[in-house]
């Protein structure tokens, strides 16, 4: 899986602690973890295309969450970065096998493909069950200093 997923999730989480309506430039989100700014920008663009964040140009511009953290799941973020395709893609080998029917879509009927799809579905279900708001709550309960630390660092980067 692409490394950008991790960056995107942590960056979105950081955005949840900032006052609503405030945009943060990619450069600051990147500096927060010492990441390459231009490349993180690319990932944020993907999040913007997926409707997870909104982007604003010019001074005082940047990125902010497009909707409430309760409505953003980890799956949303992963799909935005990695694409919607399943990890296992059936190439329909059975089309070349004995007793093959050219009219059949083996992505549906192949039992191997079905088993892989079930696993993929279980994975997606687990990710879809975690919202950004839920994650935020967990962090705040376990590490109460995090929200304050985060805001402080962002203001410090303002220099």
Partner DNA sequence: GAATATGTACTCGGATACACATTGTCCGAGTCGATGCGG
Partner DNA sequence: CCGCATCGACTCGGACAATGTGTATCCGAGTACATATTC
Q: How far is the CB of 137 from DNA (least distance, A)?
A: 27
Q: Does 131 bind DNA (CB under 7 A)?
A: no
**Nearest Cα to Cα of residue 154 among 5, 22, 21, 9:** 22
Q: Contacting DNA (CB under 7 A), which of 11, 14, 16, 55?
A: 55
Picked from DNA, a second copy, none, the partner binding residue 39 (CB below 5 to 8 A depending on kind) is: DNA
Picked from a second copy, DNA, none, the partner binding residue 123 (CB below 5 to 8 A depending on kind) is: a second copy
Q: Does 62 bind DNA (CB under 7 A)?
A: yes
| 56 three-class SS | strand
DSSP letter at 86 equals -
Q: Does 45 bind DNA (CB under 7 A)?
A: yes
In angstroms, rounded to a whole number, what is the distance separating the alpha carbons of residues 90 and 73? Answer: 27
Q: Note every long-range contact of 8-11, with CB atoms under 8 Å and residues 24 or more positions apart, other chains counting.
A: 8/43, 8/44, 8/46, 8/47, 8/77, 8/80, 8/81, 9/74, 9/77, 11/40, 11/43, 11/44
Q: How far is CA 48 from CA 3, 8, 59, in A?
A: 18, 11, 18
Nearer residue to DNA within complex by CB, 61 or 129: 61
Q: How far is the CB of 116 from DNA (least distance, A)?
A: 15
* Interacting residues with DNA (CB under 7 A): 2-4, 23-27, 36, 38-39, 41-42, 44-45, 48, 55-63, 82
Binding site for a second copy (CB under 8 A): 1, 3, 5-7, 9-10, 13, 32-35, 74, 87-91, 93-94, 96-99, 111-112, 115-116, 118-120, 122-127, 130, 135, 138-139, 142-143, 145-146, 149-150, 152-153
């Amino acid at each position: 899986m692409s490394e950008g997923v991790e960056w995107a999730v942590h960056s979105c989480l950081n955005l949840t602690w900032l006052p609503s309506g405030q945009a943060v430039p990619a450069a600051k989100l990147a500096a927060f973890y010492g990441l390459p700014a231009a490349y993180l920008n690319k990932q944020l663009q993907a999040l913007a295309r997926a409707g997870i964040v909104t982007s604003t140009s010019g001074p005082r511009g940047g990125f902010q969450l497009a909707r409430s953290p309760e409505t953003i799941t980890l799956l949303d973020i992963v799909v935005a970065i990695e694409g919607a395709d399943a990890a296992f893609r059936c190439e329909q080998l059975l089309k070349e096998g004995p007793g093959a029917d050219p009219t059949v879509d083996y992505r549906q009927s192949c039992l191997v493909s079905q088993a892989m799809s079930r696993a993929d579905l279980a994975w997606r279900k687990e990710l879809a069950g975690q919202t950004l708001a839920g994650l935020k709550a967990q962090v705040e309960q376990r590490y109460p200093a995090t929200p304050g630390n985060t805001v402080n660092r962002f203001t410090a980067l303002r220099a």
